[in-house]
Amino acid sequence: MVKPQEQSEAPLVGVVMGSKSDWETMRHASELLTQLQIPHETRVVSAHRTPERLFAYGREAEGRGLEIIIAGAGGAAHLPGMLAAISILPVLGVPVESRTLKGVDSLLSIVQMPRGVPVGTLAIGASGAANAALLAAAILGRKHPAVREALAAFRAAQTEAVGESPQ
């Protein structure tokens, strides 16, 4: 069970990205996981520039105690799909906004997995990264009561913050 104030615990979520340049997007996942006090790690793992690192990460993830992988990449974004192919863990894919095609290329690369190896695909960019963390919390919350409570508190505060007046 994950307890609050135990950020030094072994990570439950791996937040990986294809490049350092993806951090500006993927930090939104990491920040929300921190806010919900979910132990996680962040790594750069490039499917095409560091393929050996990709295979090692995918093979070792479950054995190291990770329960979910959040993977963000841009362009021909094969990182989430490859991690889903190598690991049995649920993989949540975040399409990073690309310069030339605004992330539509990333979205289609991640969402169009052929039948048999799914990637749970989120929206393009920062909203997708934040929602990946919230979805990870919802999944973890089935097993870790403290995560469920943190997520419920987050949702309640979010609802409370929405005023009725538009002015």
Q: Interface residues with ligand RP5 (CB under 6 A)?
A: 18-19, 21-22, 46, 73-75, 96
Length of the chain: 167
In the complex with ligand RP5, which residue's Cβ is closer, 19 or 131? Answer: 19
CB closer to ligand RP5, 104 vs 153: 104
Please tell me whether 21 is known to bind a ligand: no
82-116 burial string, b = 16+ CB within 10 Å, else e?
bbbebbebbbbbbbbbbeeeebebbbebbbebeee
Residue 74 or 120: the one with the smaller Cβ distance to ligand RP5 is: 74
Q: At what angle do helices 51-60 and 79-86 cross, to 10 degrees?
A: 40
Q: How far is the CB of 97 from ligand RP5 (least distance, A)?
A: 8
- Is residue 49 a known part of a binding site? yes
Task: Give me the least distance between CB of 21 and ligand RP5, in Å please.
Answer: 3
Q: Select from 94, 89, 47, 42 the least CA-distant residue to 66.
A: 89
Give kind and range of the element (H or E) at residue 84: helix 79-86
Would you report the helix, strand and coil content of the chain in percent, each value rounded to 5? 45, 15, 40
Q: Which is nearer to ligand RP5, 58 or 75 (CB)?
A: 75
Residue 165 is assigned to a ligand binding site = no
For the bound state, the minimum distance from the C-beta of residue 36 to ligand RP5, rounded and expressed in Å, comes to 25
Question: Annotated binding site for substrate, which residues?
Answer: 19, 22, 49
Tell me the binding residues.
19, 22, 49
